[in-house]
Every structure is written in C-alpha cells, then in structure tokens.
C-alpha cells in the first residue's frame, strides 16, 4: 500500500501495463515467467529499440525496476549494471528528445465546437492549467462557485505526493467561452440533475477527451498528431506568460514545484523578433 503510494496512481497503472506487455513478450518467446535475468532484460531492450523511442524504452525499464522493488528485490535490480549502460547507448542512438506537443491558445480553442461537456472541460483545462488526470477526477463536490469565479478543489495531483490538495481559482468574463459560464451551464444541465457530490463532473475517459481534441484540431486543418490534452495546459501557461503574469504566479496557478513550467511556454516568432529589436548593439 505505502509502496504504491510513492507513485502517482497514473504512474502505477502505466507501470503495470508495461509489466503485462513485458510478460506477454516473454511468454511469446517461450521465456520463463519468473524473476527476469539481466540477460532477458537486455534482450528485451535490444529487441524493442528497433521500434520504440528512447523515452518509451526508459519508461519500460523504469516499470521493470518498479516490479523488482515491489517484490523486495531492489538489491538484485541494483546489481544489473549492464541495464543502465544499454539504456545510455539507446539514448545516444535514438536520441533523448521528443517533439513537444503544440500549444492550444485561447484563440484556437474558441474555434472548437462539440458538446457542452467537452467545451466546458477544455476551457477549464486551459484556464486552470489542469493536467488531464486532475480534470477527469473532478467531482461535483469539488466545485464551488463564487460571485466572480469558480474554485476547483484538486484533491490529487502528479506533484502532490502527500495529497495536500490545492485550490484552483478561475475568474469569469463576459464571453461564450468563459470557463465559469460553461462549467455552470454544464452542471445545471438536465443530465446532471441527480448527480451526487462524489460523481465525476466530466464522465469521460482520457481516450475520449484526447479524441475530442484531435478531432477538433483535424477539423481546423491542423495535424492532430501535434496536439494532445497537455496542449491546453501548455497553451494556458503560454497565454499567462504573454500577458505579463509573473513566473511565481504561473508556477502557483499550474501547481509546478520547480522551474519546469518554462518548458511549457512557447514564445511566438513575432515576439522573438520584438526581443531582437530591443538588443543594444554597441561597436567594439
């Protein structure tokens, strides 16, 4: 129980899925389904490196290490010295960087259509800098409307390992895409009349929500592969930065514990051109 709590629930679920696929690969190749040897793990990494990216390989190796820790075999895992070496080799050959997803700006989001539920969810995700796990775990009891805002109670988050919770405040404005207005309209929808406080506000799964985003992006003539649910969080952070919001405020609103949020901010080419004009060039 406590070991599982050391990781976010989504991470544990991802690791378990990786371990199931690792076991399926071993079974397919008639390898014994016992504690894997280092040679078996090395063979698996080599086999998958022909099709997978480095980040995927790293996630699977982390999952296998998680399995060893769960079985109280950390000492054995630490003795596998060739595993980190082959992983470093994969990093050199495959490259560690992956293409970041593009941001969905407020202007781009305004061109979305779709159901009231999805529009309310997307607007809250962008305005509240919500991770998809935070968005889809919101319950009716977590929502509190104020006079000029709505307060979202985030009970669990990726970086909140001690489950302290966080309050996300989203202000209202007079617009059809106002997240407060859309959320209130969705909650007051007749389909939600008999919902209990513990019921989910947005009864859809990750695949359905990402599918909505990619469908809308495709309709607008853009490449769906360049966007994901995280594009909303990225777009919100970029909009705040472009609006002159202090870095400390962006970190707090997005519940970042470090300067990692800077990696989410995409600076438009036009603004970069403006920055270059501001440089002072002096003769040597």
Q: Quote the CA–CA distance of 21 and 16 in Å, as a whole number.
A: 9
pLDDT at position 258 = 75
**pLDDT average, residue stretch 108-118:** 96
Average pLDDT, the chain: 88
Cα–Cα–Cα angle for 45, 49, 55, rounded to 5 degrees: 90
Confidence tier at 18 by pLDDT (50, 70, 90)? very high
What's the CA angle centered on 49, arms 47 and 55, to 5 degrees?
135
pLDDT digits (tens, 9 = 90+) for 212-229: 999 999 999 999 999 999
Return the bridge partners of 153, or none: 167
Domains belonging to the chain, first-starting first, are 2-94 (1.10.150), 106-268 (1.10.443.10)
> pTM for this structure?
0.69
What is the rounded distance in angstroms from the CA atom of residue 122 to the CA atom of residue 283? Answer: 51
pLDDT at 242: 87
- What pLDDT is recorded for position 160? 61
> Has residue 97 got a pLDDT over 70?
no
């Amino acid at each position: 129980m406590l070991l599982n709590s050391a990781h976010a629930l989504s991470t544990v679920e991802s690791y378990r899925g990786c371990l199931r696929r690792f076991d399926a690969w071993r079974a397919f190749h008639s390898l014994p389904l016992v504690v894997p040897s280092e040679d078996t793990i090395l063979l698996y990494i080599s086999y998958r490196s022909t099709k997978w990216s480095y980040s995927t390989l790293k996630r699977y190796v982390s999952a296998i290490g998680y399995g060893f820790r769960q079985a109280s075999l950390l000492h054995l895992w630490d003795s596998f010295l060739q595993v980190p070496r082959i992983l470093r080799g994969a990093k050199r050959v495959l490259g560690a960087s992956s293409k970041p997803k593009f941001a969905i700006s407020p202007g781009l989001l305004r061109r979305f259509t779709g159901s009231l539920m999805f529009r309310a969810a997307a607007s809250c995700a962008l305005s509240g800098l919500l991770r998809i796990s935070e968005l889809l775990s919101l319950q009716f009891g977590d929502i509190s409307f104020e006079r000029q805002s709505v307060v979202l109670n985030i009970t669990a988050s990726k970086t909140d390992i001690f489950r302290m919770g966080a309050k996300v405040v989203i202000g209202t404005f007079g617009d059809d895409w106002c997240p407060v207005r859309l959320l209130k309209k969705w909650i007051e929808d007749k389909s939600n009349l008999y919902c209990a406080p513990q019921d989910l506000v947005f009864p859809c799964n990750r695949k359905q929500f990402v599918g909505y985003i990619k469908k809308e992006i495709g309709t607008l003539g853009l490449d769906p592969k360049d966007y994901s649910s995280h594009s909303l969080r990225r777009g919100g952070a970029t909009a705040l930065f472009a609006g002159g919001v202090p870095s400390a405020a962006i970190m707090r609103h997005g519940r970042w514990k470090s300067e990692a949020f800077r990696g989410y901010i995409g600076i438009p080419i036009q603004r970069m051109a403006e920055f270059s004009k501001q440089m002072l060039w002096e003769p040597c």
